[in-house]
Amino acid sequence: MTIQRTLSIIKPDATRRNLTGRINAKFEDAGLRIVAQKRLHLSLAQAQAFYAVHKDRPFFAELTEFMASAPVVVQVLEGEDAIARNRAVMGATNPANADAGTIRKEFALSVGENSVHGSDAPDTAAQEIAFFFSGLELVG
């Protein structure tokens, strides 16, 4: 078992509906510790920079406009196998395919407005954490 850190974002559809506490309870109940957290309203340019990996996908404009449409909560989750554990708690990208009890099954509105982001691998987790946080902001 490895202690990892992963980047989590509570997306605009969830902050609009006042779901940040209920979503974070799911992470904490799964053994993930929130070791850094802040609420931001991303500019379109910031959303485009964060999701640059998807710039050629047909949903890029929809995704980045959505991510800049209202505040988000960006946070770092820490725990055993945190990257995979977070993805398991999140559920499948499309809530129609998500398992019962997952965040996306309970809260997501659609494949686009799906309430949470989570890093998918150690290298992207490190890049995504560094996009939003300095080392001083990771408080354990």
Contacts to ligand ADP by CB under 6 A: 54, 59, 62-63, 93, 111-112, 114, 117, 120
63 makes contact, choosing from Mg ion, ligand ADP, none, with CB < 5 to 8 Å by partner type, with ligand ADP
**Quick one: 81 or 120, whose CB is closer to Mg ion?**
120
- Write down the least CB distance from residue 53 to Mg ion, Å: 8
- Write down the least CB distance from residue 111 to ligand ADP, Å: 5
Q: Active site residue: 10, 36, 117, 128, which one?
A: 117
C-alpha 44/C-alpha 22 separation (Å) is 27
- Between the CA atoms of 117, 120, 121 and 123, what dihedral angle is there, to the nearest 10 degrees? -50
- Tokens representing 137 are 């902001």
C-alpha 95 chain-centroid distance:
15
